[in-house]
Structure 1
Amino acid sequence: MGLDSTLDIMNGTVGEILLVDENTRELLRTAHRGLSNEFLEKVRLSLGEGITGGVAKSGKAVLLEDICSDARVAHREMVIAEGLKAFICVPLRAQDKVLGVLNVASRLPRKFTTNDMHLLYAIGDQLGIAVEHARLYERLRKARERMRKLARQNLVAEEDERRRIARELHDETSQSLSGIALQLQALIEMAAIPDKNDKDFVAGLKKVQALTVQVHKEVSRLISNLHPALLDTLGLVPAARKYAETRLQSLGITVTLETRGIAVRFPVEVEAALFRFIQGAVGNIAQHSSATNAGIILEYRPDEFLLTIKDNGHGFNVKEITDVEESGRGRGLFSMRERIGFLGGSSGIESEIGKGTTVWARIPVGQDIEYGENKSPGS
């Protein structure tokens, strides 16, 4: 039932529906009839203000023969200028929560009855349920849109990762294998020479051996980036330390890792998500920060795990980077945040230009997460 139908039933000439803004605690006018433009522009109410705001706060209806004579009225001059007389204000409720109010007024002398108020109560409850359903539908729509956006981002991130691996295989491993093939061909041709120089032959073998060792290291590095063996065998702390030192120290960035509390092992999927978060943050330091120092703190608390990663780099405007766009800007931070979100946790980033960057993640720890004490030397 809408406002027009309500006014017809009540024989009212003036009415409005106002909903409580959960963020600002203001009453937002979503529908109105019979009110002047000046009234609509100038009369703004917050929760608890005036008669209407009081009903929105208390959930108790108000019935008045003459609103202008009531001491609680707000914007009295505007109400008088509007010529309002008889007035009823009832809450819009859903699941014992006040979502807003329904006002019905008349410019002619009239005595609203308690039956009128009870009828409006019933209408208000119907409107409240309709508002709640609309809000739930909007939340569901936004959640679906968020999931679609996440799916798109994951697809793009997956393709980016495939391209990165392919590029590294082409630029490093593939070229090294080509070098091995050429060197072996040269050795084959040298072996066919009757009076070959054994020293040159041995030198060629050593060169092939060196190239083979190089390829092995490159492949091992790629495998470690995809899923480090240390993560499975010794856990998050040693794996994080090894990755951070390998990634940053070669760039001249000093890195420290500190644990606080009793280090424990988390389930495989939890440690993998936390490691990916660390990997993303360390990667950003390596690629974008121009930092000279970085620090990682893993804090084990009874009810939560807190991860903090800091650097002393040039920093950036957080809003510009964290707004995920179709172009992909901020995709890495978006992916990091989603990984922690899937664990029921939260994450954030703090940075200012010239003052470095801090990235943090927090996940709950409780009885629903089974883990054992991590007694590895690296912890």
Structure 2
Amino acid sequence: MSVDVFDRVIKNAIDVMENSKYQIYEICESVRAEREALNKELQIVFEETARTIDTVDRFEVEYRRSRVRLTEVSRDFKRFNEEDIRMAYEAATQLQAQLAIHREKELHLKLRRDDLQKRLKNLDKQLERAEALVSQFGVVLEYLTGDLNQVTRLLESAKNRQLLGLKIILAQEEERKRIAREIHDGLAQNLANMVLRTEITQRMLAKQAYNAVKNELDDLKVSVRSGIEEVRKIIFNLRPMALDDLGLVPTLRKFVQDYEEKSKIRTKFELIGKEVRLPSGMEVAVYRLVQEAFSNVHKHAAASFVSLELTFQQQMIKLTITDNGVGFITDNIEKKITDGSHYGLMGMRERVELLEGRLDIHSTVGVGTKISMVIPIKSDSKED
């Protein structure tokens, strides 16, 4: 293929990606507009629900009074005549009808409120996926439109190659930190909705509607716990803070334990040698490699056991992940990695190569798979 043809292919690819990125951006804006409209509608529903609850409480009090009045006029024939009894009966009947109507309205509003909250949650997920796609398109376009000659010159130097790999990994983690902060800040809207529901509960409590208060508090407690748990999981997946606070080994040990609980696959973690704190970017890279390897076992291996062996030596670290799954033909998987059709292993190999390491895969069908990764520790990159 000539240089001109290659340039033309690259330009066409850039044009297509630019158009796709713009279309996804329009989808993001549309979802944001719909989310804002739904959020406004939800606030209106909350306010109307509170007013309806007050109205129901008022009608309940008036209906009870009318029943007492009807009983009173029905028993005392000396003081009250048939006209008084008729009027008392009609008043009680009318209040009963009004009470039933407003109770039905209250139920409808609560159902509408729950439906809007579910739709808002789905829109948030769609917006998150669309924004992730826009970000990925931006990264690819930056690579395609960048100075490839300069990148090639940097990669010719072994020291600069590892430095570039660490910078890329650190940039990725900084982006993950930013997204984590945004998700955390985005809780404000959900908390505002919870505050409104709390206010509604307080009003019901003041009216001594204890059964309704209990139901509302139960729903609110479940929503709060679910929201907190979901946010904690998202934030931890984006950036495991334990890496900064505790280091690589405790974080991997905790990851392996959590993996066993969630996947029901028996796990084992073994540390060989004395742990040494690595540069932040390298610790993150090692954690992501283990995360990807264990994810592949869960998705594809059908294994009942997986082990992680982490070895610290003076000039390198070694990772060995072994499972007893279905295995595969190594030659076939190597072709898939080479042609880019196996994204998990391809991504692992790229991360290892950026750190000037080596990745080896040994697998036997029906026996299991063993992945070994050796990553050098540069003397000038060690932290003090």
TM-score, normalisation: structure 2: 0.47
Kindly indicate whether structure 1 or structure 2 has the higher relative contact order, using CA contacts under 8 Å at least 6 residues apart: 2
More strand by share: 1
Higher helix share: 2
